Amino acid sequence: MNAPLTTKPDAQQNYLKNELYTLIQQDPGIFEFIQSGSLDGLWYWDIEKPENEWMSPRFWETLGYAPSEKAHLASEWQDIIFQEDLATALVNFKEHCQNPDHPYDQIVRYRHRNGSTVWIRCRGMAVRDDNGRPLRMLGAHTDVTELKLAELRLAEKNDELLKYSYAISHDLKGPIGNAGLGLKLIEENFSAGLDPMAKTLLSQMTDTMSRMITVIDGLHNIAVVDGLESDSETFSLGALLETVKQDLQQDISQSNGHITLDSDGDITATKVLCTQVLYNLVQNALKYRKPEVAPQINIGLGETPSHWQVTVIDNGLGIAPQHHEKIFEFLKRLHANHEIAGSGLGLSFCKKAVSRLGGTLKLESAENCGAIFSFTIAKP
């Protein structure tokens, strides 16, 4: 029986790598295959004589030109690149020459021969002498036009959806609000002449109108979360919690809730999203409390090298493990409205908002044992 192969993967890779390098040196066809089959252009630039630059045939074909039309001169491509992108590329080139660890890697736009825009990811590395002085620059092009066009189409669709959401929210809330106002006026001015059943129906209709407004607001918030401004700022968790407590002052008072900040610290992120997530989690902790038991909510901040983690712990009703995934689903609720009012949208929003913050939202809980919600926020 033959002995088993004992060559280590690293050693095997090394001999194949060396073999490939030898093939490239010996057979020009291997180099041609690599540069034409895996790249959308290759270029080699003489930094000492910066007008001289060799560009592969594929370089020009990607931009709509026959290679025979173009000389091997840097000015040939500098005339058709977007000038603001050329400025960016030159800045990166200078920094890369000064510091080899600075990557020469950017997406630039060229004007195709037919007038369209070609998006190119342009990467390169300086070839240096023994003293580290750059002599040449080797670069590669990758055509990312389809990807960029897809991104632009997606951005346009998102913008349309945002406008649609605003319009629907406005058009639905207006009539519902007017109807609710009419019902309230009837209740205030004519309730004395109504029988008990009519009063009950009137009260139920008023509650339904209120829930409809809540659902519309919740749907709108979820729809627009991706369109919110993502400017980051630095703030403390304690300051964020004080804002949330002010907004929930009535709920805290009515439930005799007690909120404790166990650990504080600074976070750098989109403040409006963090505020809304914390607001929803604290509001749920106040809402889903045990009968005759005052809510106790503990909030803390931890961190890893890549993320902050905010934890919200309560002593409420808890959630059975089989429902841990369901509660994050769209319009899913574990309690009927006559038990605990709600829309089934708060945690759906939180999950989407936390994803926008570069983190995850998790739950640890068991029925009648309270809940621990924790969400992470990516560090910049």
**What is the signed CA dihedral for 174, 180, 186, 191, rounded to 10 degrees?**
-170
What is the per-residue pLDDT for 11? 47
What is the per-residue pLDDT for 8? 45
Cα separations (Å) of 120 from 51, 154, 177? 21, 19, 52
How high is the mean pLDDT in each 10-residue block of the chain (380 residues)?
43 65 80 75 93 93 95 95 96 95 95 96 93 93 94 79 64 72 80 82 76 64 61 92 91 94 95 89 92 94 96 94 81 57 72 91 91 95
Q: Using an 8 Å Cβ cutoff, are 142 and 39 in contact?
A: yes
Give the DSSP H or E segment for 217.
helix 196-224
DSSP letter for 377, please: E
Its CATH architecture, for the domain 230-380, is 2-Layer Sandwich (3.30)
What is the per-residue pLDDT for 307? 96
Q: Which amino acid is at 366?
A: A
Q: Which amino acid is at 183?
A: L
What is the per-residue pLDDT for 185? 82
Q: Tell me the β-bridge partners of 45.
A: 53, 137
What is the per-residue pLDDT for 93? 96
**For 282-318, what is each residue's pLDDT tens digit?**
999 999 899 889 999 999 999 999 999 999 999 999 9
Q: Using an 8 Å Cβ cutoff, are 141 and 41 in contact?
A: yes
What is the per-residue pLDDT for 229? 59
What is the per-residue pLDDT for 333? 63
Q: How far apart are CA 310 and CA 350, in angstroms?
A: 13
Domain spanning 12-143: which superfamily? PAS domain (3.30.450.20)
CB atoms within 10 A of CB 236: 14
The residue written with tokens 């033959």 in the block is 2
The residue written with tokens 């490939």 in the block is 20
What is the per-residue pLDDT for 338? 47
What is the per-residue pLDDT for 7? 40
What is the per-residue pLDDT for 330? 61
What is the per-residue pLDDT for 4? 42
Cα separations (Å) of 194 from 114, 185, 190, 198, 307? 76, 13, 7, 6, 59
- Residue 97 C-alpha from the chain's centroid: 33
Pairing of strands 233-236, 266-269: antiparallel
